[in-house]
Amino acid sequence: VPRHYSTSPSKPSTVTLNGKSYPCDDHTNVPPHIAQCLSRKLHLIPNHPISITRSLIESQFPSPVYKSYNTLLPVVTVGQNFDSLGFPLDHPGRSRTDTYYVNKDTVLRTHTSAHQADTFRLRESDGFTISADVYRRDAIDRSHYPVFHQMEGARMWSRDSVPNGDIAAAIWKEIEQMPRHDLKVEDTAGAWDAERNPVQSEHTDAEAEAVAAHLKRSLENVVVEVFGQARKAAIAAGEAKESEVEEPLKVRWIEAYFPFTSPSYELEVFWQGDWLELLGCGVVKQELLKNADCNDQIGWAFGVGLERVSMLLFNIPDIRLFWSQDARFLSQFTPSTITRFQPFSKFPPCHKDVAFWLPSSTTSAAGGNTMGVFHENDMMEVVRDVAGDDAEDVRCIDEFVHPKTGKKSLCFRVNYRSLERTLTNDETNQMHEKVRQALVERYGVELR
Ligand code: FA5
Ligand code: MG
């Protein structure tokens, strides 16, 4: 497998993903270590914590109202991932520093929302969930990995099939039938702030209010069910006191912005002393529904990060563990059950720094953002490519512009640590030397 995919003169003319070959062009930036992840499908392995989390949340959105789609392929068009959702052309998410391009028209989906429009268009049910692997060029640390999993959820109501076309009344009637939960909810989201988080001109306030209420209640019920079970597991493991557990769980709604919903919210949960972001959601933009031939409908959508939830439920301290093929990891889990992860002993870390001057007019080979500078995500990718999951985190610890030459210097600290064994000094030195050489070869930096 060629490791140098970006600047090497023998750049391949096609890239193979899930057994299918796609033509490359100057947008292509999918490295082999990412291409290899496509076949893993962690969300479909029955005793894997990502899959257990998926099916627990899915069970809160039962059929026949909700249909679940869990095998949609990750290679999508720029149209599906961005255009259909109303992302402006200059949105940073579209840049090659943030997104894996198969070629200029095709990307690895960055979120499950890439499938919203197509799934609305199918009209196979009143609601749906979509669970899948998603891909982003991003930081390296214990909570970020370039591949993670999301679940999209959506619910629609057609104006043509409710009494008198009164969607709001129909939704409120449904909400009355929903289970009431014991949850402490803070709601500071500026839902009705016409400027910051407006109701769409196509909707009445009453409609948007009903849709948002149904959305919030549905997701609050997920938190009660899923985190309620996690609490029991924590008590059983002797981690939490029974007395703490008499307090209701706490969540809060925060105002948010997404190009494809309005109003929009984020949901946070208070868990072991911190507020943690779980998901983004909102009332679906009518433009999107119209383009999917569903202008008779209005509805909500959400997108939740399954690793985030799973790390909390199972007490998994490092996101790399989800990719472990080590039996000491996988053998700990049972389908449909939340148990607390028992860490195998922690192996020693080893920090190494690399400092370098950027060439004066760098064009980032893999990233190539419009500023024509080296992007932090380029560093992340070099490390992932060389060290794989033996890199625990990478941080920029110094940035400096020479007052006379105007040249820029960066210093990164790479923390090497295997989850499965102790790395020898020699191994770590060799990996670090490869990182240094790859920076020179791919980006023309001058090592200091
Ligand atoms: C989205 O991806 C939107 N598509 C969510 C959405 C769907 C909004 C439908 C409205 C309607 P965001 O980039 O914030 O939004 O990611 C959603 C969730 O994915 C986050 O709340 C978080 O739980 C998870 N997530 C995001 N980035 C990462 C990451 N690098 N690693 C792990 N989880 C992540
Ligand atoms: Mg976010």
Query: Per-domain residue ranges for the chain?
Result: 40-74+109-330, 345-447
- Around Cβ 102, how many Cβ atoms within 10 Å? 25
Q: How far apart are CA 357 and CA 157, in angstroms?
A: 57
* For ligand 1, atom 14: residue with the closest CA: 280
Q: Which residue has the tokens 């028992």?
A: 342
For position 343, what pLDDT does the model report? 85
Q: The tokens of 305 are what?
A: 């990060």
- Helices marked H in 180-268: 205-236
Ligand 1 centroid–CA 423 distance in Å is 33
Burial of 29-41, coded b for 16+ CB within 10 Å and e otherwise, reads bbbebbbebbebb
Q: Decide if 40-74+109-330 and 345-447 have a common fold.
A: no
* For ligand 1, atom 26: residue with the closest CA: 305
pLDDT 10s per residue in the chain (448 long)?
333 344 444 567 999 999 999 999 999 999 999 999 999 999 999 999 999 999 999 999 999 999 999 999 999 999 999 999 999 999 999 999 999 999 999 999 999 999 999 999 999 999 999 999 999 999 888 889 999 999 999 999 999 999 998 999 999 999 999 988 889 999 887 656 777 889 999 999 999 999 999 999 999 999 999 988 888 888 888 887 776 667 788 999 999 999 999 999 999 999 878 898 999 999 999 999 999 999 999 999 999 999 999 999 999 989 999 999 988 899 999 999 999 999 887 889 999 999 999 987 644 444 443 334 689 999 999 999 999 999 999 999 999 999 998 899 999 999 999 988 999 999 999 999 999 999 999 999 999 9
Position 46: which residue type?
Answer: P
Write out pLDDT tens, residues 228-260.
Answer: 888 888 888 888 777 666 778 899 999 999 999
Quote the CATH superfamily of domain 40-74+109-330: Bira Bifunctional Protein; Domain 2 (3.30.930.10)
Q: Are 299 and 289 in contact (CB under 8 A)?
A: yes
Ligand 2 centroid–CA 279 distance in Å is 7
Q: How many residues make up the chain in this entry?
A: 448
For position 257, what pLDDT does the model report? 94
Which one-letter DSSP state was computed for residue 418? Answer: -
Q: How far apart are CA 287 and CA 84, in angstroms?
A: 9
For position 272, what pLDDT does the model report? 78
**Topology of domain 345-447, CATH:** Alpha-Beta Plaits (3.30.70)
For position 22, what pLDDT does the model report? 96
Q: From the DSSP assignment, how many helices (H) and strands (E) are in the chain? A: 11, 17
pTM of the model: 0.88
Ligand 2 centroid–CA 282 distance in Å is 13
Torsion over CA: 270, 271, 275, 281 (sign)? negative
> Taking CB atoms and a 6 Å cutoff, what residues make up the pocket around ligand 1?
111, 113, 136, 138, 144, 148, 150, 152, 258, 261, 277-282, 301-305, 307-308
Q: How far apart are CA 324 and CA 389, in angstroms?
A: 9
| 3-class state of residue 314 by DSSP | helix
